[in-house]
Structure 1
Amino acid sequence: MKTLKFVIIISILLCSKNLIPQSSVQPKTKSIDTLMNTNIPAIMAKANVPGAAIAIIKNGQVIYEKGHGHADKNKEVEVGPTTGFNIGSISKLFTAWGIMNLVKKGKLNLDIPVETYLTRWKLPESEFDHNKVTIRALLSHTAGVSVHGYPGFHPNHKLPSLEASLTGENGPIRENEAVKLILEPQTQFKYSGGGYTILQLIIEEVTRQKFENYMQEHVLQPLGLNDTSFTINEMILSKSAKPYDKDGNEIYLEQFTAKAAAGLHTTLKDLAIFAKAQFSENPVLSQETIKEMIQLIPTTQTERGAYGLGYAIHNFGPIKVVGHAGTNTGWEAGFMMDFNDRDGFIVLTNSSNGKKVAMNLLQTWANWRMNK
């Protein structure tokens, strides 16, 4: 999970007129199918992106759901709605749902010190007030915690334990970087994948289950996300696209100890189901809880956007976009919802160049919406 630039992407997407070829900005009489099917192949070819999967939600319903290009270039396997992709930091949205499910059940409190729940690891001593490190602060990246993001591990590399990762014992894959307090909590926004690793540990401490097992049982399965998992097993691998670097070379599928921050593997079809669940009653979270999650935390407000509980937020004129972006080596993804109109856009790619495709297609979607 590398540097998250979701709000920057959205700012460029909604403000720039120069990212897309002029032919991409079609009159409102064009259907979304025509817009996407006409523009996607050229955009992917120019960016050297092998495969992409795109879904569009309108008024709570999926109106476009299609794969383009190749999941595996060598075998010429095409991308489809059930092709697997890593979604990087969009994993945090699902983790936030897992946390809020436990809040709903009365097993967690958003506003008491997180160390109340921790026995296997504690925040290192610091000059800052540990009592202000709450679950609400971790979800909104206002806890003042270090470690922006995590690189993945080779599939043959033994993963460090959760406690070792928090302590900074990540082996030869990177320089050691412990999760610790570096700012006074609840005073400013500081994006932290490390904070979501603490949330991963909290879920394990409270439920007495492995994080991935709890999420499967209480979030993914109840929502009907049958091809989505924090565990990279043979079933997931059999459906997965291959990841490619910026030069178009196939690379290995990274694996993570920090699953809550960056480790989820899913499909376009499942993400579309998850998108629809944002707008309707579902077995995991109430609409009241989701509404609370998408309200911005004042201390997260910057000129480029803001944050709620797990959700990044951006306002531009009449459009309020809520969701997340995801970046891991060989993967780029975007998950954006407009809760006012119950509209949404999902893009998944299997390339480190995928952000170029995502930005172009997001602007195509935005133009289509504003012209409709």
Structure 2
Amino acid sequence: MKKILLIASILILGLKSFSQESLANVDILIEDLLKKTQVAGISISVSKQGNLIYSQGFGFSDVKNKTEMAPTSRIRTASLAKVITATALGKLATDGKLDFDTPLKEYITFLKEPYASLTTRQIAGHTAGVQHRPASKKTKNKHFVEVKETLSFFEGTTLLFEPGTDYKYSSLGYNLLSILIEEVSGKRYTDFMKEDIFVPLGMTQTMPDNASVFTENDAKLYYLQGGKLKQEKKIEDGSYKLAGAGFRSTSVDMVKMMNAYSNGFISKEVVKDMFKSNRLLNGEVTNVGIGWRMNKDINNISTIEHAGNWQGARTVIIYYPDSELSISVMINTKCTLFIEESTQIIAQYFLNKDQKQEDIGTFSKTLKIINNRSGGSIENYTGKLEFIDTKKGALHIETDRSWLKQNNVYPLPSKNNFTLSTSYGLLYLRMNLNPKLEGELFQYQVLSDTYHMNQKPMLYIKEK
């Protein structure tokens, strides 16, 4: 109860700059997202300039017992663990103990080639050529007490390519970084994370995942199969990939972590270096720095982010450096969800508090819709857009693609910007309502151009 009261008091201070109507619109949108995606629960927290300004839970952390999701409910981080580990690397660099471009062998004297010559930057940025996962699936059933035990995964293996010549996402590489942290700090990885990262940053609910221990504060794990929500029965042990995917945390703790990048915990120079894209030997940029990914939102505003997807979890943390806005969404369900797009959409309510959508009114308009398929083919549909009030509309499309047939449309707090709430998450819908309705629907999860509005829209929408 004390914890809830403390969060409530912090929120009261932070919410003064946001209207109750705007926050209510966020609640409505996320409730729709919960219903449409059919996930068990959603935890979301937002902070700005170090202040918690929004923190809510939706749905359930435990469906059977009707335990409501809270922003303080612990959920598996999945790959958000990588940026948790990256934060530790940034702290060590700030303290002058670690250089991102020094070969690991200078710190880990017992590490063998070819891994000894790799650098922190290459491993954290996934250009080292380390395989993604251990070769043996038996690792998922074993609990590793010490991170050094996982060095056995590297025995008899080699790199996938010459470091710096390609990009290959690797969770296994972060095992090497956890050992690096131990050797540089002189502490066990888990002790350093708790004493030097979690405690100073106030991340009181963040800890290593333990498949055999679940408290009332730990959300149950779920997955979607054939459109039905099911609970995980056999829990995978994540200790084999602790630094890359194996923590539990809360959306509140994740936005607290982001304070490290603006309050001096990590120096400005190191932050700048961490948020700088790696470049391959051929000059190609990867849009990935020290763990963090570079992206841009619907208004071409730069973001720093990372997402996660693992058994019983879909997660993301997004940071807007220019406004010091952080937003974390954690879902206790493994699912196919455009979580980066969805979270950027939600962020618009907190970035554009002084802007207002034009008066939409009520209307019903028949549409001609063009679908640009990924293979280059085009499909033509008819449809209808209806707004029965100014806060919510519905887009109906005559198509055999069930997820596009009927979805709610919500105006965002800036002119001509809307979102379509689908079973795969929130998508950006840019529409000009006058003199005749014209619009474009974007889906931009995996594209090389970080400003995704430069890409061809998924749908073109025109009033007949």
Quote the residue 1:35 is aligned against: 25
Quote how far apart the aligned CAs of 1:368 are.
6.9
1:137 paired with 2:122, answer yes
1:102 aligned onto 2:85: no
Which residue of structure 1 lines up, in the alignment, with residue 302 of structure 2? 320
SS in 2 for 1:299: coil
Aligned residue runs from structure 1 range 239-254, under 5 A? 239-247=217-225, 248-251=229-232, 252-254=234-236
CA-CA distance at 1:119 after TM superposition: 4.0
Change (3 A) 1:140 1:178: farther
**Bigger RCO of structures 1 and 2 (CA < 8 A, at least 6 apart):** 1
| Aligned: 1:195 with 2:173 | yes
Residue in 2 that maps onto 1:21: none
| SS at structure 2 position matched to 1:193 | coil
Contact 2:127 2:165 in 1 (8 A): yes
The CA deviation at 1:322 is 0.3
Identity in percent = 25
In structure 2, C-alpha distance between the alignment counterparts of 1:350 and 1:152, rounded to whole Å = 23
- 1:351 aligns to 2:341 (yes or no): no
Letter in structure 2 aligned against 1:306: N
**Residue 297 (structure 1) aligned with residue 282 (structure 2):** no
The structure with more helix, counted as a fraction of residues? 1
TM-score w.r.t. the length of structure 2 is 0.63
Alignment check: 8 A CA contact 1:53 1:66 kept: yes
Q: Verify the 8 A CA contact 1:84 1:266 in the aligned structure 2.
A: yes
- Kept in 2, the 8 Å contact 1:121–1:163? The answer is no
- Hey, what does 1:17 align to over in structure 2? none
- Cross-structure match for 1:115: 105
Give the deviation of 1:277 after TM superposition. Answer: 3.3
Correspondence for 2:314? 332
8 A contact 1:55–1:62 mirrored in 2: yes
Q: CA deviation at 1:231?
A: 5.3
Query: For each residue in 1:233-286, what CA deviation from the matched residue of structure 2 results, as whole angstroms up to 9, or x when unmatched?
Result: 99873411001011322115433222110011111221221233322233xx22
The alignment of Structure 1 onto Structure 2 pairs a total of residues equal to: 330
Kindly provide the amino acid, as one letter, of the partner of residue 215 in structure 2.
Answer: L
In structure 2, do the counterparts of structure 1 residues 341 and 113 end up closer, same or farther at CA, with 3 Å as the change threshold? same
Residue matched to 2:289: 308
Task: Report whether the alignment pairs 1:146 with 2:131.
Answer: yes
Q: In the TM superposition, what is the alpha-carbon distance from 1:153 to its structure 2 partner?
A: 8.0
Secondary structure of the equivalent of 1:239?
coil
Query: Is the counterpart of residue 165 in structure 1 residue 155 in structure 2?
Result: no
Structure 1: which amino acid aligns with 2:315?
A
SS in 1 for 2:294: strand
Alpha-carbon shift at residue 104 of structure 1 (Å):
2.9
Q: Which residue of 1 aligns with 2:364?
A: none
After superposition, give the CA deviation of every residue in 1:274-316 in whole Å (9 maximum; x if it has no partner).
233322233xx2233222211222339879x611112111135
RMSD of equivalent CA atoms: 3.3
**Corresponding residue for residue 261 of structure 1:** 244
**Between Structure 1 and Structure 2, whose CA radius of gyration is higher?**
2
CA distance in 1 between counterparts of 2:172 and 2:142 reads: 21
Q: Which amino acid is 2:194 matched to?
A: Q
- The AA in structure 2 aligned to 1:347 is V
Q: Which of residues 26, 33, 36 is equivalent to 1:46? A: 36
Structure 2: stretches of 5+ with no match in the other structure? 1-17, 353-412, 415-464
Task: Give the one of 254, 261, 267 matched to 1:278.
Answer: 261
Please point out which of 56, 74, 90 is paired with 1:66: 56
Moved more, 33-42 or 357-366: 357-366
The residue matched to 1:111 in structure 2 has which SS? coil
SS of 1:181's partner is coil
Alpha-carbon distance between aligned partners in 2 of 1:213 and 1:178, rounded to the nearest angstrom: 30
Match of 1:22 in 2: none
TM superposition shift of 1:117: 2.3
8 A contact 1:55–1:268 mirrored in 2:
yes
CA distance in 1, matches of 2:303, 2:135: 26
Q: CA deviation at 1:152?
A: 9.1
TM-score w.r.t. length of structure 1: 0.77
337-346 or 51-60, which moves further after superposition?
51-60
Cα separation, 2, equivalents of 1:359 and 1:315: 10
Q: Is the 8 A contact 2:42 2:332 kept in 1?
A: yes
